[in-house]
Homo-oligomer: A and B are copies of this chain.
Amino acid sequence: MKALVYHGPGQRGWDTVDDPTIIDPTDAIVRIDTTTICGTDLHILKGDVPETTPGTILGHEAVGTILEVGKSVTTVAKGDRVLLSCVSACGRCRYCKEGHYGQCLGGGGWIFGHTINGVQAEYARVPFADNSVYKIPDQLSNEQVLFLADILPTSYEVGVLNGAVSPGDTVAIVGAGPIGLAAILTAKLYTPGRIIAIDLADSRLEGAKRFGADMTINNSSEDPLETVMDLTEGLGADVAFEAVGVPQTFELATQLVRPGGHVANIGVHGKSATLHLETLWIRDVTITTGLVDTFSIAPLMRLIASGRLDPSLFATHHYALDDTMGAYDTFADAANTGALKVVLQGNESGTQHAKRAPAVAAA
């Protein structure tokens, strides 16, 4: 089969490799019908993720069709159209039993395109299939559910739920890249009173408005702290999300939050930040970090089905799976292309992915 293979820092190829086969009785083999690229894939390509070794197929977000299942798989069967979670769950360890699949101790967690072959390929082996894939209702297209593999649950679980967003809250989101936009979209499920997006790029802030931000602040020219304090009687935001992954934005988030509020870190960090305990110790703040567990796939899928959550705005570019190399070029150059997420479609997915018009079209 063909697959996008990592060949060491800066190098990738759309190579012919062996088809995957069942190894464990809990495996499934899935034909990849629709997949996408994540910012993390770019980090791997830069060489920032040393545990990913050359020769690994990248990708951890996909919709596909079950071709074969191992002997102990009972909840999905050949022919089922399924969403593959970016996080695999053994379903048996302490963390999986608590729904913390991202911390799986039994061989799961984030493994696709990281420590095992990923899903930017024609076929993939899916470990722990019973606990790691989700059947898709007929009325939903592949593209409608694709972003449930990672970006939507990440922003929802690690941002919105960890941050305890509540009706009427002021929510400040530092960073308006894809993960910040997903945070806007999913924060709205709890009807905050006001969502404020903060970024250095006007183009990204325009995106934030399209996704539902009530107000935007370009912090290259405006002081977000002053604005947020003015809006909140000097208290600060109820919830602040860090959605970039650098020390400065984290530190800004901790300044923006009111006494008693929540700072939810969503960004992936490579460096330490300074925690100003000399001011924060007395302010009753709660700071959370987290890797997505994807336990929220089922309720979020129900909301897409009922037209109450519409991730279609993310799909800025479409490519055939065979053109994954070109899709990477577009996605990596987001500053110029405006790419949020690129959708890669396999040959057979055209007849599969939209059995009928998506519900949201009629909404």
Contacts and interface: CB of A to CB of B under 8 A. Distances in A.
A286 interface: yes
A139 interface: no
A300 B191 CA distance: 11
Interface residues of A, number: 75
Given A71-B71, A193-B306, A272-B274, A289 B299 contact: no
Given A167-B190, A281-B267, A260 B298 contact: no
A180 to B, nearest CB: 15
A92 B131 contact: yes
A190 B193 contact: no
Nearest to A76: B92
Please tell me how many copies of the chain the complex holds.
4
A290 interface: yes
Contacts of A74: 90, 92, 106
A286 B286 contact: yes
A252 interface: no
- Per DSSP, are chain A's interface residues mostly helix, strand or loop, or mixed? loop
B272 A276 contact: yes
Interface stretch (A31-39, A96-104, A216-224, A323-331): A96-104
Interface string A235-254: 00000000001010010000
Interface in A272-290: 272-278, 280-290
B92 A130 contact: yes
A303 B168 contact: yes
Contact of A278 (B106, B270, B302, B306): B270
A22 to B, nearest CB: 12
| Most B-side CB within 10 Å, residue of A72, A167, A259 | A167
A339 interface: no
A75 interface: yes
B284 A289 contact: yes
A103 B265 CA distance: 24
B273 A275 contact: yes
A358 to B, nearest CB: 16
A95 interface: yes
Nearest to A72: B72
30 contacts: A24-B72, A70-B72, A72-B72, A75-B93, A75-B106, A91-B92, A98-B260, A99-B99, A102-B284, A103-B260, A162-B286, A167-B190, A167-B300, A190-B190, A191-B191, A191-B303, A191-B309, A250-B277, A269-B277, A270-B278, A272-B274, A272-B276, A272-B278, A274-B274, A275-B275, A280-B289, A283-B289, A284-B289, A286-B286, A287-B287
Q: 3 smallest A-B Cβ distances: which pairs?
A: A168-B299, A72-B72, A269-B277
